[in-house]
Amino acid sequence: MIAFENIPSFRFLTRNQKHRIFRIPPILCLLAQKSRREGLLSLEEGIDDLVGVVDKRDEWFLKEFLRMILDFDGKNREDLPVIMKNIVTASGGSKLSILCHQMIASGSADIWEGRHENSLLDNLVSFLGKKWQDDFFVSPELRAILRKINCRYSVIVKDENEFLYPETDEPCENHPLALILDYSEFAIQKVLREVDTEDLVLALKDAPAKIRNAFLKNMSERARCCIKIKLDDEGEPYDREKIPKAQQMFIHIIRRHEDAGKI
């Protein structure tokens, strides 16, 4: 996997700039899937047809890096990623162009190494940084690819009701956050505005479905996508000892609004 230095995060991105970035992961994921199923050489015939699938400014890099992984005959497997990295570094350009070219280089190297498309997608999403990952999670580009590959982000393409957890008769009144069930949707939304995403995930890690759904129903599509992915990701490390603290923070916010007569 090619390691690049982090690019300073963008403060603002226009819709067209986001579209330029977000077009890159889907095509690389499909190429990875084709390569894994049919062999690396199966990509050879389609390289010249890759016109318009990414921005014109990125098209040369996509085609050139794909040709490189097909034609590379070096004995040292570490040589190719180094060559790709040097090409991106030497090409220069704006921060946006460098980011796009880094993603193409890293994704191409992943394809060459035979990585699964799920792993490749995780790698490319990590290039976006936390802020733009949220936008990518609800972009048409990601939805299109999730209909063709199955991975942990696939929950995003489900209907709104499928974002909710199946509720059972499991008692939840003893859970610290059970008091939220007594409040209106307006009150829950007001509380959610003051809570960080990571704290919310921690607070809901051990919560029954009914309590989780009370929060999910009152979130935007983007926030719901992000929270659901993190809640369902068993591989993501978290500190169990911090769960009670996150829940108490919630309770404190609720009580403060209640005492002030705001909810």
Q: Which two tokens stand for residue 3?
A: 């390691």
- Better-predicted residue by pLDDT, 43 or 139: 43
b/e burial code for range 228-243 (CB count within 10 A of at least 16 → b): bbbbeeeeeeeeeeeb
Per-residue pLDDT tens over the stretch 46-85: 888 888 888 999 999 999 999 999 888 766 667 888 888 8
**Cβ atoms within 10 A of the Cβ of 257, count?**
16
Domain 161-259 carries which CATH code?
A: 1.10.220.30
Question: Of 99, 61, 100, nearest to 83 (Cα)?
Answer: 61
* Res 156 pLDDT > 60: no
User: What residue spans of 23-55 are helical by DSSP H?
Assistant: 24-38
What is the C-alpha to C-alpha distance for residues 225 and 219, in angstroms, rounded to an integer?
9
Q: Which of 18, 29, 20 is nearest to 108 (CA)?
A: 29
Residue 237 has pLDDT above 70, yes or no: no
- Give tens-digit pLDDT for 36-45: 888 988 888 8
- For range 125-151, the mean pLDDT: 77
Query: Which pLDDT does position 62 carry in this prediction?
Result: 93
Residue 119, both tokens = 């792993």
Sequence ranges of the domains in the chain:
15-157, 161-259
| CA proximity to 104, closest of 151, 138, 57 | 57
Model pTM?
0.63
